[in-house]
Amino acid sequence: MSQTVVTTRTTTTTTTSSSGGSFLNTGYVRTYSGLLKVAQVIALLIAFLCVRCSQVWTDFSAFRYFEVVTLWFFCALLIFLIMYILRLQTKMPCINWTLTEFLHYAVGTILVFIASIVAAVKSSGISALVAGSVFGFIATFLMALSLWTSYKVTCGSQPTSAAV
C-alpha cells in the first residue's frame, strides 16, 4: 500500500491605497474623489456660515431653506468622507455604496442649486448673503463634478465580452 500526500500552497496578495496597515485609509483624501468631497464639505460649511452669521435676512423662509439644505448635505458628505476614511463601506457590503452616493449627489446637486438661486435672488446686495449664495454655487459645481464621476462608475459602459 502506498500513500500519496498532496500539498497545496496558496498565496494571496492584496494592494491597498492606504499608508501602512492601519484601519484608516488616509490615502483616500489624496484621491480625486476624496479631494472633491473635502472641497464640497468646505464650500458647504462656508456657505452655511455666511448666511447664518449674517446680521440681516431679507427673506426668512428663503434663507432658512438655504441653511437647512446646506447643513443637511454638509453632514451627509462628512459622513461619506468619514465612512471612506475608516473603510466602513467594506464592512457593510449589503449596501451598494456607489449607487447610494450617485443618488445623494443627484438630489444634492439639484437642491443646493435651487437654494443658491433663491439665496442669490433674495440677497438684496447684502454681502454676507451674496457670499453664501456664491459658495452655494461653488458647492453645486463640485457636487455636479462628483455626480458625473459617480455616474461614470455606476452607469458607465460595461464590457460585453471577455477578451481571451
CA distance 35 to 54: 29
φ and ψ at 125, to 5 degrees? 80, 5
Give the pLDDT confidence of 103-124 residue by residue, as tens digits.
999 999 999 999 999 999 998 8
pTM (predicted TM-score) = 0.77
Q: Where are the domains of the chain?
A: 26-153
Least confident span in 39-43, 59-63, 144-148: 59-63
- The angle that helices 127-155 and 97-122 make with each other, rounded to 10 degrees, is 160
CA distance 84 to 30: 12
Using an 8 Å Cβ cutoff, are 44 and 104 in contact? no
Report how far apart, in Å, the C-alpha atoms of 133 and of each of 27, 66, 142, 147 are.
32, 9, 14, 20
Whole-number percent of the chain with pLDDT over 90: 49
| pLDDT for 162 | 57
CA-closest candidate to residue 142, choices 27, 40, 67: 40
Strand, helix or coil at 11?
A: coil
Alpha-carbon dihedral 96, 102, 106, 107, rounded to 10 degrees: 30
Give the pLDDT confidence of 12-49 residue by residue, as tens digits.
544 444 444 567 888 888 888 899 999 999 999 999 99
